[in-house]
Amino acid sequence: MTPLSKSMEWRESIRGESDLIEERFDSLATIEDKQGNAFPPRFKRTATPAELQDDYDHLDDDTWSGDTHRTAGRIKLKRDLGQIAFVDIEYDGETVQLYFQAEELDDYDLLDEYDLGDYVGVEGEMMKTQTGEVSVDVRDHRMLSKSLRPLPDKYHGVKDTETRYRKRYLDLMMNDDVRETLRNRSKIIRFVRDYFDEHGFLEVETPMLHNIYGGAAAKPFTTYHNDLDQELYLRVSPELYLKRLLVGGYTKVFEVNKSFRNESIDTTHNPEYTMLEAYQAFADYEDMMDITEQVFAGAAKHIHGTTEVEYDGDMIDFAPPWPRVTMLESIEDHVGIKAGEMSEDELATFCDEHGYELDKKPCWGNYVQLIFEEECEETYTQPTFITDHPQSTIPLCKQTEYDDRLIERFEPICAGMEIANAYSELNDPVKQRELLVDQAQQRADGDEEAHPLDEDFLEAMEHGMPPAGGLGIGIDRMAMLLLDQQSIKDVILFPAMKDKEGTDE
């Protein structure tokens, strides 16, 4: 079948989907017969609907300004009263009313072919109606883009969850609150960038395709580069490249980046996600705690004007300082056991008795983390730093000075979920090699989330990396908290969805 015949087949199939679509194709033909191209290449505006509202709100009711303007937008409402018609058009969330009079327009009847969802451009005199509505008294009009499919019912909007995520354009078109949420997500990211820029951090870009993945315990997505004739991985974290920049002499770097993890999809996980990673020379995890507090509190104020934010019915206050509790203290407080004084076998028995399954290498530290995740994590509503994690949880962090089983790592927990991760960076190349060799062995033994051995990273560290603190913040979860959204899909424009035919998109 030729491309032309396929196009004709599509045209016939879409026309046959419903009477409404058939009618819109007929309207398109009528419009093009009278106006020419219904999808013209340009329309020069003199003002947007929002600008017209601002500039002419001062008019008295039932008054004409004498000013002529050209504006355009999508038809959201249409009221035909016979010899006059009122049409509301929207652009960028703002509307203005169009006033059509049959006695003023030779092609007034063409309004019958205009439908909700169409983009139109008009020229006319600015006025205010008897009811106080800023309006354009239309003297000329034309179709700019004909909508061939009808919009969802404006009173019911797009409510079906599957449709909202799969056809986000309809969700944005019909649901103002969704559009505002995702606009505020962009404001949060802008604030984060501005914060680090103002505090002397250099924004950088590191590779998304890695020869060796690392920086996080995660399964990678695998791809293949034909010219290089080798397997590559979508990054699970930018950490190891950002640390190379510390070796190279930069002292403060950050990246707002996309990372990818081939893991489950749920209300707090999406395989493609946005994160902030920042590294500062001659800092430690205490300094990173201060930065974390400032970023969240500042972003809350930027969006809401206050550090207090409602999330899922609870009022959360991001104002510093946040409580700081070690993981062992948290377990003792919530479970009543002194995990630091218990052996690996005792912790394993405790987990078995409670039905907790360990999916990592059995060891004292992994059992400690499992107990915390099962018993403690969901109890924290207000932002709280959980510090001093077991060394086995990450191979890139410095040990605490008081217990070599623990590391200077923290995760802030809020509304029962982890919202960031940070630590005092390990900069001893000998110790780092030992830990990564152990990770490589775990990977060889079947742990798909264990770090592979990255010799290039280790060689970089052998040239000397300064003491440093590193911080990673999940932007999607940050947006969830600050914008009162209980699913990560509600703060991502196009979340991962299973293809209708059964393959992943």
**Above 60 in pLDDT, residue 4?**
no
Residue boundaries of the structural domains of the chain: 7-145, 173-323+382-491
pLDDT at 151: 85
Average pLDDT value for residue range 60-65: 96
Whether the domain at 7-145 and the domain at 173-323+382-491 fall into the same CATH topology: no
Write out pLDDT tens, residues 218-253.
899 999 999 999 999 999 999 999 999 999 999 999
Annotate 468-496 with DSSP letters as a single string: EEEEEEEHHHHHHHHTT-SSGGGGSSS--
**d(Cα 269, Cα 236) in Å, to the nearest integer?**
13
Show the tokens assigned to 77: 């409402």
- Show the tokens assigned to 451: 């770090």
What pLDDT score was predicted for residue 1? 57
Q: Is 396 exposed, middle or buried (0-12, 13-18, 19+ CB in 10 A)?
A: buried
Q: Where are the alpha helices (DSSP H) in 111-237?
A: 161-166, 168-174, 176-198
Among 195, 202, 199, which Cα is nearest to 250's?
202
How many Å is the maximal CA-CA distance in the chain?
91
Q: What are the tens digits of pLDDT across the range 198-222?
A: 999 999 999 999 998 888 888 999 9
Q: How far apart are alpha carbons 385 and 436 in whole angstroms?
A: 27
Quick check: 17 pLDDT over 80?
A: no
pLDDT at residue 68 greater than cutoff 80: yes
- pTM of this prediction? 0.91
334 pLDDT more than 80: yes
Among residues 53, 61, 98, the alpha carbon closest in space to that of 80 is found at 98
Per the omega criterion (within 30 degrees of 0), is the bond before 321 cis? yes
- pLDDT of 136: 98
Least confident range from 127-141, 328-342, 426-440, 489-503: namely: 489-503
19 pLDDT more than 90: no
Q: Which CATH fold would you assign to the domain 173-323+382-491? A: BirA Bifunctional Protein; domain 2 (3.30.930)
Q: What is the mean pLDDT of the chain?
A: 93
Q: Which of 348-357, 448-457, 473-482 has the lowest mean pLDDT?
A: 448-457
Q: Which pLDDT band holds residue 359 (cuts at 50, 70, 90)? A: confident
> 114 pLDDT band (50/70/90 cuts)?
very high
Residue 160 banded pLDDT, cuts 50, 70, 90: confident
Q: Is pLDDT at 502 greater than 50 in this prediction?
A: no
Place 501 in a pLDDT band, splitting at 50, 70 and 90: low
Identify the three-state secondary structure at position 256. Answer: strand
Fold annotation for 7-145: OB fold (Dihydrolipoamide Acetyltransferase, E2P) (2.40.50)
Spell 134-163 as b/e; 16+ CB within 10 A means b.
bbbbbeebbbbbbbbeebbeeeebbeeeee
pLDDT value, residue 155: 47
Summarize the confidence of residues 107-128 as an average pLDDT: 97
Q: What is the pLDDT of residue 8?
A: 60
Each residue of 96-111: pLDDT tens digit? 999 999 999 999 999 9
Report which of residues 176 and 289 the model is more confident about. 289
- Average pLDDT estimate for 259-277: 94
Closest listed residue to residue 324, CA positions, set 278, 375, 285, 364: 285
pLDDT at 361: 87
The pLDDT of residue 16 is 63
Q: What is the mean pLDDT of residues 433-447?
A: 86
Dist CA 91 CA 76 (whole Å): 10
Strands 202-203 and 252-260: parallel
Helix axes 285-304, 475-482, angle to 10 degrees: 40
pLDDT value at residue 505: 43
- Residues 172-176: contacts with CB within 8 Å, 24+ apart? 173/74, 176/93
Rounded to an integer, the average pLDDT of 51-63 is 97
pLDDT in tens, 315-332: 999 999 999 999 999 999
* Whole-number Cα distances in Å, 279 to 430, 458, 469: 21, 18, 6
Q: Which two tokens stand for residue 10?
A: 């599509």
Q: How far apart are CA 280 and CA 200, in angstroms?
A: 10
Say which residues have a Cβ less than 8 Å from residue 303's Cβ, sequence separation at least 6: 184, 187, 188, 191, 482, 483
pLDDT above 70 covers a percentage of the chain that reads 95
